[in-house]
Amino acid sequence: MRIYTFIIGSADDFESLDALIDYVEVNKDKGTQNYSTFEFDCPADCSEEIVTMMGRGYAFSNGWCMDGTFSFMIPWKLL
């Protein structure tokens, strides 16, 4: 298994993907801007596309959408 974190943030609060990445790097999941983090695990042999779809699934199931957002994935470690 591998642990991933999917991060998504509002384009209203972040002017670019780099701005979101920088903000999350400093604040982790404790910031005050409009963004969310979703940590999950999946089999280590999953393709990047499947892992991205899983991350989006978590975000979209919690009210986020593709329009007006920036997002990225962080692979953490093998379990």
**Euclidean distance between the first and the last CA atom of the chain, given in angstroms as a whole number:** 5
Q: What is residue 37's DSSP assignment?
A: E
Smallest CA-to-CA distance from 62 within 25, 37, 79 is with 37
Domain range holding 58?
Answer: 2-78
Q: What is the pLDDT of residues 10-24, one digit of tens each?
A: 999 999 999 999 999
Average pLDDT over residues 31-42: 95
Q: What is the pLDDT of residues 65-75, one digit of tens each?
A: 999 999 999 99
CA 57 vs CA 23, 26, 30, 72: distances in Å? 23, 25, 22, 13
Residue 34 one-letter amino acid: N
Provide the domain count of the chain. Answer: 1
Does the pTM surpass 0.75? The reply is yes
Average pLDDT over residues 42-46: 91
pLDDT surpasses 70 at 79: no
